Amino acid sequence: MTVAPILRVSALTKQVATGDTRLTILGDVSFEVNAGEAVAIVGASGSGKSTLLGLLAGLDTPSAGRVNLDGHDLFALDEDRRARLRARMVGFVFQSFQLLGGLTALENVMLPLELAGRADAPEAARAMLARVGLAARLDHYPKHLSGGEQQRVALARAFVVRPKLLLADEPTGSLDATSGAGVIELMLGLNHDFGTTLVMVTHDEQLAMRCRRIIRLAAGHVQG
């Protein structure tokens, strides 16, 4: 059975004005990602990795090229429709966790469910926090959780809506080796169990090797 690509990137280019010249951050980047695949995007600092991730999410707009997400041409949609598509299909995990400090772990995970109008938000959030090993930390605020625990909450929040695509930007960048390894095991396990497609930016070659495929960027261009 042929697996259809969930993500098609075609001749994606991003340039910014710097005085009288234009700086190319990404140049003519093209690739496909199949549904359920785990792909790492690697490259040196300044190679365009995070810019590419923002474009894949429709959080930024390209100077040229296309991103097709599950049959939707992202940049043929206006900003509101891109936001609705993102809310329905895409989950995010960031290096800096991006948890809301005034909400407990449970409330952070419930939030995307409540925004989607899910009546089962408390039950679904509790089950997901148990899945990431935090059943005993539901009522803790982020400041009372370790870095590894905060990233587990972030993983639970991302996966609780069962996104088709998970975008992760240096998910272990703020963690020590032990905590980072635990988070990666969880993320790849959830990716497998839920059939989510994972696209992850990382500078960690060992982490990248855990993915099915590696896309290497250098000076804004795909290598090889």
Contact predicate 185/89, CB 8 Å? no
What pLDDT is attached to residue 175?
82
Question: H or E stretch including 186?
Answer: helix 177-194
The count of other CB atoms within 10 Å of the CB of residue 58 is: 20
Contact predicate 154/103, CB 8 Å? no
> How far is 51 from 100, CA to CA, in rounded Å?
24
Percent of the chain with pLDDT over 70: 98
Residue from 93, 98, 123, 120 nearest 108 by CA: 98
Write down the CATH number for the domain with range 5-223. 3.40.50.300
Q: What is the pTM of this model?
A: 0.87
Residue 7's pLDDT band (boundaries 50, 70, 90)?
A: very high
3-state secondary structure of 210: coil
For residue 79, the Cα-to-chain-centroid distance in whole angstroms is 19
- 13-49, pLDDT tens digit by residue? 999 988 888 889 999 999 999 999 999 999 888 888 9
What pLDDT is attached to residue 184?
86
Q: What share of the chain is helix, strand, coil (3-state, %, to 5)?
A: 40, 30, 35
* Mean pLDDT of the region 123-149: 95
Please report which residue ranges of 35-118 form alpha helices under DSSP H: 49-56, 79-89, 105-115
Res 4 pLDDT > 80: no
What tokens were used for 163?
């996104």
What pLDDT is attached to residue 224?
62
What tokens were used for 80?
């509101």
* Mean pLDDT of the region 141-150: 94
- 40-83, pLDDT tens digit by residue? 999 888 888 989 999 999 989 999 999 999 999 999 999 999 99
